[in-house]
Chain A
Amino acid sequence: AQSVAQPEDQVNVAEGNPLTVKCTYSVSGNPYLFWYVQYPNRGLQFLLKYITGDNLVKGSYGFEAEFNKSQTSFHLKKPSALVSDSALYFCAVSFLKGDMRFGAGTRLTVKP
């Protein structure tokens, strides 16, 4: 089955330090991978996506993600975390028109 997994429920980092939120995928064929962020009591907001091409994808708010085919991973990264980055982050995969599946989410907490 086409799916993504987020192995960490919670990630804690100090402000100014680099952050990584992990995602692995299981897809037959070419994966189309996404990252979304959810702030409290809000809907999800798109951060970035990988369709094809460069393995390093840059997105909104200084986030980037690295697609690694051999490790079937699509980890979200940011060089220097901000307190305002604290939120719930979701990895997602799309494999059919209109059909997108999400991971369970990772709660990122950035401490001052």
Chain B
Amino acid sequence: NAGVTQTPKFQVLKTGQSMTLQCAQDMNHEYMSWYRQDPGMGLRLIHYSVGAGITDQGEVPNGYNVSRSTTEDFPLRLLSAAPSQTSVYFCASSYGGASSYNEQFFGPGTRLTVL
């Protein structure tokens, strides 16, 4: 199993540009999430999904869109990039099931710089 994969690893954008961060998992996990990691602030939840066709907002959803058309993929879209979105982005997935509090598996991250 490849686990959770993210592309690209690095990206530089100009203010106002849009892009999509890709995330895929091959573990048939129901739950998937996007986080951003900033120094001194830990990981903050952007959006999450508990299954195909279902998404919800986390702590910091503004400026980001998500969709979940398949179990495997959960792309994160930046609509109009701003310097405040410079961060490291992590995708994670977990098994759902009867017990909803299972550990998450993380991807390697995407380092995004917005100029």
Contact = CB atoms under 8 A, between A and B. Distances in A.
B33 A105 contact: no
- Grouping DSSP codes into helix (H, G, I), strand (E, B) and loop, the B interface class, with mixed when no group exceeds half, is strand
Interface residues of A, number: 26
Contact of A94 (B32, B40, B101, B109): B101
A100 B33 contact: yes
Nearest to B96: A97
B43 A97 contact: no
A36 B92 CA distance: 13
A82 to B, nearest CB: 22
Interface string A95-112: 011111111110000000
A96 B49 CA distance: 11
Interface of B: 4, 31-33, 35, 40-45, 48-50, 56, 58-59, 90, 92, 94, 96, 99-101, 103-109
28 contacts: A6-B42, A32-B101, A43-B92, A43-B106, A44-B43, A44-B90, A44-B106, A45-B106, A49-B101, A51-B99, A51-B101, A90-B42, A90-B43, A92-B43, A94-B100, A94-B101, A97-B100, A98-B94, A98-B96, A98-B100, A99-B33, A99-B45, A100-B45, A102-B42, A102-B43, A102-B44, A104-B40, A105-B42
Interface of A: 6, 9, 32, 34, 36, 41-46, 49, 51, 90, 92, 94, 96-105
